[in-house]
Structure 1
Amino acid sequence: MSSPEVERRLRQQGADVDSLYEISARIEGKVDALDAKLDQVAESTAARFDSLEQTLARIAERLDRG
């Protein structure tokens, strides 16, 4: 293999590695965004269940008194 061909391949491989790092960084950003959204959903769901639990406790209390 000629020296220019080796150099071309090395440059191409370097560019490929750079592209892979770029793709990896984008994926990492998307995973972080999804993680944040999932945390929000989990907090929202927990708050809803807490509210339902309080409502059901009040209803049960009324039924016990009635």
Structure 2
Amino acid sequence: MIGTDHSSGDGVERCETCAVQTPHDVSIEIRTESDKEKNAEFSREPYRVTRCRMCGETASQRMNNA
């Protein structure tokens, strides 16, 4: 898995661990989903990654489901 941070920002979102709205760091990562070297460049997908500033919990969500 290759991660490249293209943008980052701050946001307030619900943290499942804290069970309340908390400040989060938000970024976009490009991840390679294939373990095979052949055609790996065609398996990259953007993911939205959030990290709770209160507890450190990290969550990611694939941004497109093609």
Give the TM-score taking structure 2 as reference length.
Answer: 0.14
**More strand per residue:** 2
Larger radius of gyration: 1
Give the TM-score taking structure 1 as reference length.
Answer: 0.14
